Amino acid sequence: MQNILEIDGISKSFSDIQANNDISLYLRQGQIHALLGENGAGKSTLVKIIYGIVKPDHGTMTLNGKPYDPDTPEVARNEGIGMVFQHFSLFESLSVLDNIILGQKENLKKDKILERLDYLQNEYDLFIDINKIVATLSAGEKQKVEIIRCMLQDPKIMILDEPTSVLNPSEVEKLFSFLRKLSDQGMAVLYISHKLHEIKELCDTSTILRGGKVVKSCDTASITIEDLAQLMVGKAIDNKVKLSEPKQARVLDIKNISYTNPDIYGVSLKGIKFSVNFGEIFGIAGISGNGQTELMKILSGEVGTSDGNQILYHDEDISNLGINERRKREIVFVPEDRLGHSAVGGLSLSENLLLTNLWDLKFFSKGVIDSNYVNEKTVEVIKKFNVQCNDAASLASSLSGGNLQKFVVGREIIKMPKLVVCEQPTWGVDVGSASLIHNFLIEISNTGSAILIISQDLDELRSICHRIAIISNGVLSKPYDANRITPQDIALEMAK
Amino acid sequence: MDLLIAIFQGIIIASTPLVLAAVGELVVEKSGVLNLGVEGMMIVGAVTSFIITYETGSHFLGLTAAIISAGLVASLFGLLTQYLLSNQVATGLALTLFGLGLASLIGQTYSGISLDTFPILDVYLLTEIPIIGSLLFNFDYLVYLSIIIVVSVYYFLNKTKFGLVLTAIGDNHDSAHSLGYSVKMVRLFAIIFGGSCAGLGGAYLSLVQTPMWVENMTAGRGWIALAIVVFSVWRPLWVLVGAYVFGGITIIQLHVQAFGVNIGAQYMSMMPYLVTIVVLVFISMNKNRLAVNAPNCLNRLFTSDL
Amino acid sequence: MFKLQKKEIIDQSSLYTVPLIAIGCSLIFVFILFLLIGKNPILAIFIIFIEPLLSIFGLSELIVKSTPLIIIALGLSIGFRAGVWNIGAEGQYTIGALFGGAAILAFYPNNGIWILPLSFFIAIVGGILWGMIPAFFKARFNTNEILVSLMLTYVATLLLSGMVYGPLKNPDGFNFPESRLFHDSGTLPIIFPGTRAHIGFLIAIILVGLMYYLLKKHKFGYHVRVSGESPRALVFSGRSTNYMVYLSFIISGAFAGLAGVIEVSGPVGQLVPAIPVGYGFTAIIVAFLGRLNPLGIFFAGFLLALTYIGGEAAQIRLGLPNAITGVFQGVLLFSLLAAEAFTNYTISLKKIRGNI
């Protein structure tokens, strides 16, 4: 088979970060090629270069033997490159059909498009009701719309960016058989992921990126998952603090959380029940958009709920208390979004420290902020949690994701809380910081704190939790022992 | 009977400027831009059309002047908000303040002069039909034009690809951009179209409704047009309903005053504004309908670098 | 075409440079405008912008006109930071004038040092009540506060007019639509004898200082700053977004109401239908020109007051229409918004790419 796309010595830097450093890669007809790496390894920059969104600083690309240097995504599409983004580029309030029409380059007649659509749906098993409004579709269906839109342009190369992060296991199976069929028909697929099992199962060839450089390109069959992991992460980081056994006494006992979402497209929660014990780390797994955000906001008190909900904390019903009343009871919260939710980019670190301490009279005298005390505490967090920054006056937006997350988690943990509720505590954080954050959480649980982690990252949950439950479409499963939960259990619960 | 016919005609004439301004703003908002400068664009249209009509004697040239001048001030708003990324609310307010000042300045020497009445479109025989003739075929051509514009906008938004693109840009400008649509250009066109419609609405005030130039003669109609867009829940044909309801309130309120109902004139004049508030509140009570129809990107900043 | 890229660190000096660039651009615009209408631009600019500063009378009038502008703008700046758009300060100002004025008239001809403070209090309550209408609907139903507050401005103007044509009309006034002149206990003391400059200006200065302190040091100011940056973070810190809606309207309503009663008990001295002269709208420009910062608002208030006085001077001396003030104010706000783009973004030229 011949090379369809050749990437030769591509480099790209953004201000002080070298995102891509001399990257070369060859994509052959009929090949499913994995592009593999941690967050921040440079995968998405490379893809954006191929798709004409970002211009490289150095290097050349060759498509079908001809020089290829796209100025816009449109050029890339015309040259036969199709892209399925991780964050969909769909129009939520329009119908599936309108979305498909908008994705076509020429003014095709509607019946012409319908005809092609019909063919695609039959050939590739991509059935979907074209009159539905996109906002009402599940994440898996939305991805189908993206794929259809892409396929209608007869691409020669299809790029998929973390396509399975929004899919449940049975949808993943369907996607894989679809991609295999494409490859059998001679299409080249560039598959971006950090999930090693998938890559091992699906891809012929793997290119592994780390720190913006290619560390290895090889046949996937010739390499073990352990070796892939090693190459992706660099040196193995496994100095994890050991989990100790929790006591059989409940800190948080949720008798019932039900919530009707006022947003008609949002997820409603149905009869959620679970409990977290002293010294226990309890994980809630699930694909995003199944009610996690809603659950988090109800647990924190940011969203009020209707009657009938019962959240017992040390036998007190806190379901009607506001977030600061809950904080007074030594509960802390770390929501998913760093910038704009748990921290404010345009304010300094010390001002951000105050964000979750407004209830604490130690920081004020008659409503006036005691800036010395705030500063002192901020410096303490920065030192203790190894936050890399200039000083307490640095703007939160000037910190890297990992450092800001360490600050946000540290700000809460330093209070030695009795209950920690966090959502995606290591989302988009580098490996080193993630492992530090995990250690903080384990350490504090060993002193008796109860910890609730809501995360999409199953590997994360399995490595630090005692028990795991799965949330799917607003319903929470029974808890499983983290050591005994099997992929089959998870698949079954997610499909419910 | 004659009185009812007069009231009906009065309502149509009072409503037409609102129809024009609101349907223009609807297109602008559909593309995801909130232009609060309708009042300013209307008054600019009113003053320029008056001056040009007075100086040339041609209503047609006057209307053309209104379209061009209001389109120009709208494009100023467009350049600032789309290319210099200024705050839409603040820029719209600036446009209103600027338009009101500019109109008073250039209209100063024309204050109090009146024009010939605007001719009624005489449709042979049809106008002669009793009652129906007076009800349907006894207006100036701008009334019919305003209805044609509304229907065309309906057709454009719902049945054409370009209309679909405009709606899509209002729904998600980042997606539209990544598909290769030129978000800023489409929005600029929409803004200029909205400005021209508002200008035409203003011209209707100074050429047809009261054929003279009076300072601040728009008297808040631009703001009511904005409210009508919300009332219509961004559906073009509902703009007609909304505008005629508001026009109706204005006219009926005047007739009630004329009947000598013993309420101060000032309190009756509050009616259109109070009704606007009540209607806005009622519309906003139904969150789901708004969520489905309101353009998602309304008043959101678009920066082209992804 | 050109491309804007958000600057990561915004130069602190832009706090001063942006307003100065905007003022410069606006002056260039009026210069050209005067040329076009055949007036000597240098003379006109001198009469409008310099001459009022050269006489005691001009300076004292500057104090009189800047007082309501500064007070209203201070109140508006809180909401504008938080993304709550009270465009109806003019209405709240009118209601403040009406309530305060009515209170003063109610005590006619009694004397007492308590009359003014009491009427100030009533005016503030009136301004708050008027502001609470859009705030309530915004908080409860998410009704557009811009349109509601603006509609209420027209209602307030009509209400004032209805009152001075009706119950508050001067019984000895030959049926003119105006109230009686306030008696001494209902009139603000003058700070510079022989001028109209009254102690309302001192109130404005105190409020500037108070606001500056609260925004910088107090919990209240902290909430305002957080909400300006991110409403979600505000909720996370324990305040609802509705809290900010109410707070913004209470403060801006109270300040506008206060400005209203200061105006009627100060320079006007009675209730007339023409109390609302656009201060509530001009204060929006003052707030932006002052970059929503209390000290900035103080200086911006002076500049915009200057355009009022200069506009009047130009009317008398050059036969220019009063509307020149409005044009200048509009251009100033436009220039300001454009100038902001140059500080928040770096602008680079790039080739045109893409088509429709």
Handedness of CA A12, A17, A20, A22 (dihedral sign): positive
Amino acid of residue A149: R
Whether A348 and chain C come into contact, CB under 8 Å, resolves to no
Residue C320's pLDDT band (boundaries 50, 70, 90)?
A: confident
Regarding beta strands A450-454 and A419-423, do their DSSP bridges make them parallel or antiparallel, or are they unpaired?
parallel
Tell whether the model's pLDDT for residue C267 goes beyond 60.
yes
> Touching check for A355 and chain C: CB below 8 Å?
yes
Largest CA distance in chain B: 63
Find the range with the poorest average confidence among A22-26, B26-30, C174-178. Answer: C174-178
> How many other CB atoms are there within 10 angstroms of residue A490's CB atom?
21
Query: Which positions in chain B touch C159 (Cβ < 8 Å)?
Result: 266, 270
Please tell me the predicted confidence (pLDDT) of residue B258: 74
- Look at C226 and A347 and tell me if their CB atoms are within 8 Å: yes
Percent of chain C at pLDDT > 90 equals 54
Q: A146 CA to chain B: closest CA distance, Å? A: 11
Neighbours of chain A (3+ CB pairs under 8 A): B, C
The domain A279-290+321-494 having CATH identifier 2.30.30.100: the answer here is no
Query: How many Cβ atoms are within 10 Å of B243's Cβ, its own excluded?
Result: 30
Mean pLDDT of A163-176: 83
Q: Give the Cβ contact number of residue B259 at 10 Å.
A: 7
What's residue A452's pLDDT?
96
Give the β-pairing of A364-365 and A368-369: antiparallel
Q: Which of C11, C10, C22 lies closest to C299 in space, CA to CA? A: C22
- C186/C110 Cα distance (integer angstroms): 9
Inter-chain CB pairs, A–C, below 8 Å:
68
Closest residue, chain C, to A342 (C-alpha)? C233
Of the candidate ranges A209-218, A295-304, B203-212, the one whose mean pLDDT is the lowest:
A209-218
Tell me, yes or no, if A262 comes closer than 8 A to chain B by beta carbon.
yes
Nearest chain A residue to B165 by CA: give it: A102
pLDDT at C355: 34
Q: Does position C251 have pLDDT exceeding 90, yes or no?
A: yes
Q: Residue C222 phi/psi, 5° resolution?
A: -60, -45
Average pLDDT over residues C174-200: 88
Nearest alpha carbon to residue A214 among A31, A34, A440: A34
Q: Are C198 and C269 in contact (CB under 8 A)?
A: no
Residue A305 has pLDDT above 80, yes or no: no
Burial class (CB in 10 A: 0-12, 13-18, 19+), A65: exposed
Residue A409 has a pLDDT of 94
Residues A88 and A118 sit within 8 Å (Cβ to Cβ): no
- Neighbouring-strand partners of residue A331: A419
What CATH superfamily is the domain A3-233? P-loop containing nucleotide triphosphate hydrolases (3.40.50.300)
Nearest by CB to residue A93, choosing from B176, B179, B296, is B296
What is the pLDDT confidence band of residue C353, given thresholds at 50, 70 and 90? very low
**In the prediction, which pLDDT does C104 show?**
94
Determine the Cα–Cα distance for residues A181 and A308; give it in Å rounded to an integer: 51
Q: What is the pLDDT of residue B45?
A: 97
Residues from chain A contacting residue C230 (CB–CB below 8 Å): 339-341, 344-345
pLDDT of residue C59: 92
Give the global pTM.
0.88
Q: Do B172 and A103 touch (CB under 8 A)?
A: no
Structural fold of domain C2-349 = ABC transporter involved in vitamin B12 uptake, BtuC (1.10.3470)
Separation CA C309–CA C47 (nearest Å): 10
Q: pLDDT at position A184, please?
A: 92
pLDDT above 70 coverage of chain C, percent: 92
Query: Is A310's pLDDT higher than 60?
Result: yes
The answer, yes or no, to whether residue B55 has pLDDT greater than 90, is yes
Is residue B219 situated within a structural domain? yes
Between helices B2-30 and B221-231, what is the axis angle to 10°? 80
Please check whether residue B34 lies inside any domain of the structure. Answer: yes
Contact indicator for A144, A68 with CB cutoff of 8 Å = no
Q: Average pLDDT, stretch A239-258? A: 83
- What's phi and psi for A58, nearest 5 deg? -140, 165
* Chain C interface test: which of A14, A55, A336, A368 (most C C-beta within 10 Å): A368
Asked whether the beta carbons of B265 and B140 are under 8 A apart, the reply is no
How far is the CA of A299 from the CAs of A258, B11, C8, in angstroms?
12, 55, 34
pLDDT at C356 over 50: no
CA distances from B49 to A174, B37, B43, B108 (A): 64, 18, 10, 14
3-state secondary structure string, chain A?
Answer: CCEEEEEEEEEEEECCEEEEEEEEEEEECCCEEEEECCCCCCHHHHHHHHCCCCCCCEEEEEECCEECCCCCHHHHHHCCEEEECCCCCCCCCCEHHHHHHHCCCCCCCHHHHHHHHHHHHHHHCCCCCCCCEHHHCCHHHHHHHHHHHHHCCCCCEEEEECHHHHCCHHHHHHHHHHHHHHHHCCCEEEEEECCHHHHHHHCCEEEEEECCEEEEEEEHHHCCHHHHHHHHHCCCCCCCCCCCCCCCCEEEEEEEEEECCCCCCCCCEEEEEEEEECCCEEEEECCCCCCHHHHHHHHHCCCCCCCCCEEEECCEECCCCCHHHHHHCCEEEECCCCECCCECCCCEHHHHHHCCCCCCHHHEECCEECHHHHHHHHHHHHHHCCCCCCCCCCEHHHCCHHHHHHHHHHHHHCCCCCEEEEECCCCCCCHHHHHHHHHHHHHHHHCCCEEEEECCCHHHHHHHCCEEEEEECCEECCCEECCCCCHHHHHHHHCC
Residue type, C201: F
Render pLDDT for B114-152 as a digit per residue (tens, 0 to 9). 888 887 777 666 767 777 777 777 788 899 999 999 999
Q: Does the beta carbon of A109 lie under 8 angstroms from any beta carbon of chain B? A: no
pLDDT at A158: 93
Which residues of B are less than 8 Å from A48 in CB distance? 306
Nearest to A218 by CA among A46, A11, A25, A62: A25
- Residue A124 has what pLDDT? 83
Higher pLDDT, B228 or A39: B228
> Which tens digits make up the pLDDT trace of A28-53?
999 999 998 876 778 888 998 998 88
Given a contact as 3+ CB pairs under 8 Å, which chains touch B? Answer: A, C
**CB within 8 Å: C150 and B269:** no
Domain locations in chain A as residue ranges: 3-233, 279-290+321-494
Selected residue with higher pLDDT from B214 and A1: B214
* Nearest of A119, A47, A442 to residue A283 by alpha carbon: A442
Using a CB–CB cutoff of 8 Å, tell me whether B105 touches chain A: no
Give the pLDDT of residue C350.
47
pLDDT band at A251 (very low <50, low <70, confident <90, very high): very high
Helix (H, G, I), strand (E, B) or coil at B274: helix
pLDDT at A16: 61
Highest mean pLDDT among B51-65, B112-126, C319-333: B51-65
pLDDT tens digits, one per residue of C183-194:
888 899 998 888
- Best mutation target, C229, C240, C344, C351, to test chain A (most A CBs within 10 A): C229
pLDDT score at C256: 98
Among the partner residues A324, A339, A364, nearest to C238 by beta-carbon distance:
A324
C39-65 pLDDT, tens digit per residue, is: 888 988 898 889 889 989 889 999 999
Dist. CA A379–CA A381, nearest whole Å: 5
B302 domain-assigned:
no
Residue position matching structure tokens 């209830």: A359
Mean pLDDT of B191-199: 97
Q: Does A71 touch chain B (CB under 8 A)?
A: no
> To the nearest whole number, what is the mean pLDDT of chain B?
89
Question: What pLDDT is stored for residue C1 in this prediction?
Answer: 47
pLDDT above 50: residue A496: yes
How many domains does chain B divide into? Answer: 1
Is residue B191 included in any domain, yes or no?
yes
> Shortest CA distance to A300 belongs to which of A422, A438, A456?
A422
User: Of C350 and A8, which is predicted with more confidence?
Assistant: A8
Q: How far apart are the two ends of chain A, measured CA to CA in Å?
A: 43
pLDDT of residue C2: 55
Summarised one tens digit per residue, pLDDT across range C121-131 is 999 999 999 99
pLDDT confidence of residue C64: 94
Q: What is the domain partition of chain C in residue ranges?
A: 2-349
- We report the CATH number of the domain holding residue B199 as 1.10.3470
Q: Domain for residue B300, yes or no?
A: no
Comparing A185-189, A377-381, A384-388, C210-214, the range with the smallest average pLDDT is A384-388
Q: List chains adjacent to chain C, taking adjacency as at least 3 C-beta pairs closer than 8 Å.
A: A, B
**Higher pLDDT residue, A168 or A383?**
A383
Higher pLDDT, A73 or C67: C67
Query: pLDDT of C132-143, one tens digit each?
Result: 999 999 999 989
Token representation of residue C67: 């007082």
In a domain, B101, yes or no: yes
Strands A467-472 and A480-481: antiparallel
- Do A279-290+321-494 and A3-233 fall under one CATH topology? yes
